[in-house]
Structure 1
Amino acid sequence: MGGKVQRGVFQTIFKHLINSFKPRRFTGDLVGSDYLGNKYYQHSQHATSEKKLPARYFVPKIEDNFEQEIPAEWEAWLRHRRKEPPAESEVLRNFAIMKMKKNNAIELDNALRASRAQKQEVAEIHRVTKFPKYPEYENVDSEHPKNPKD
């Protein structure tokens, strides 16, 4: 066997069963908070832990409201896409850029609606029927038109 100790399936199951009865630490270390009032936590890495990445989570400002919006920088940190938590200045700078983009989008949308309304008004002004109707040429009687020689 080359000196390696191999664990059996029952030993692994027994180890996990024993570990499930041990008290767990449910509170993590506070890492930071955002402008919405959410607080972000990370569990410290235990030496006996088999996980490679520490558990990260957040507590929303309003309890049990986990569907609320969180900043993209903090979401990246929660999903382990970035190692260090974002600085408050970085989050606020990106928030200002986001607000500016929203305002620009609203202005563009209003300009587009005004342009469409103006084009529609011009089209209604210049609306031309294919066949103009002139009252002097209309037949009022259901009979054939009268011959002017009669």
Structure 2
Amino acid sequence: MVPKPPQRDLIKIIFNNFINSLRPRQFKGNYIGEDYFGNKYYEIPANPSIGKRKASRYFVPNRKEAFDQELTAEWEAWLRGRRDEPPTREELVRNLSIMEMKQRNAAELEGSYGEKDDKGQVLPKKRETIGTFPKYNEYEIIPGKDPEKKY
């Protein structure tokens, strides 16, 4: 005699799901960290027993009324689930210093060494423009004319 495979009891599954839905759930997340803009990041862990396979991640902005919030790339990757671990403070500081160094180098390449803002950052040089396009001295504006001549 061949044994019968176990069958699923539909009534039992529905009853267990109903009982699990009555259990209290976690609505407030666990504090994970903060970025240098002042945004706070939270996570509600996954709970496979109620069918929640992924953790819920969210942030509380520093200024709640401002709609143009900035997020660091590291925290945004964590929020969207592209990375498992939240960024460390050392990683954030290192990436911020690299970003500031790139901004200083780009401003120096533009050729303005004397103009600085109130924080001491080098400002990019403002160029003379025609309409909305930049004008460079080494390129001709009118085809066939010498770019050195003033018109």
Corresponding position of 2:132: none
For residues 104 and 95 of structure 1, what CA distance do their matches in structure 2 show? 14
Q: Structure 1: where are the runs of 5+ without partners? A: 128-150
Helix, strand or coil for the counterpart of 1:91? helix
Compute the displacement of 1:71 (Å): 0.8
The letter for the 2-side match of 1:116 is Y
Kindly report which structure 2 residues correspond to 1:1-150, keeping only aligned pairs within 5 A, or say none: 2-5=5-8, 7=10, 11=14, 15=17, 19=21, 24-65=25-66, 67-110=68-111, 113=127, 116-117=136-137, 123-124=148-149
Q: Secondary structure at the match of 1:116?
A: coil
- Per the alignment, in what secondary structure is the counterpart of residue 110 of structure 2? helix
Deviation at 1:84, TM superposition (A): 1.1
Q: CA deviation at 1:93?
A: 0.7
The Cα shift of 1:117 comes to 4.2
Question: What is the TM-score when the length of structure 1 is the normalising length?
Answer: 0.62
CA shift, 1:50, in A, is 1.4
Highest relative contact order (Cα 8 Å, sep 6+), 1 or 2?
1
1:83 Cα shift?
1.2
| Residue 4 of structure 1, CA deviation | 3.8
Alignment check: 8 A CA contact 2:45 2:54 kept: no
Q: Which amino acid aligns with 1:124?
A: K
Per the TM alignment, residue 102 of structure 1 is displaced from its structure 2 partner at its CA by 1.8
Contact 2:57/2:79 (8 A) holds in 1:
yes
Runs of 4+ in 1 over 6 A off after TM superposition: 118-122
The unaligned stretches of length 5 or more in structure 2 are 113-124, 129-134, 141-145
* Identical-pair percentage: 38
Q: Is the 8 A contact 2:47 2:53 kept in 1?
A: no
Please report the TM-score for the alignment, with normalisation by the length of structure 2. Answer: 0.62
The one-letter code of the counterpart of 2:38 is G
Pair member with larger Rg: 1
Kindly indicate which of the two structures has a greater share of residues assigned to helix: 1
Give the C-alpha shift of residue 6 in structure 1. Answer: 6.2
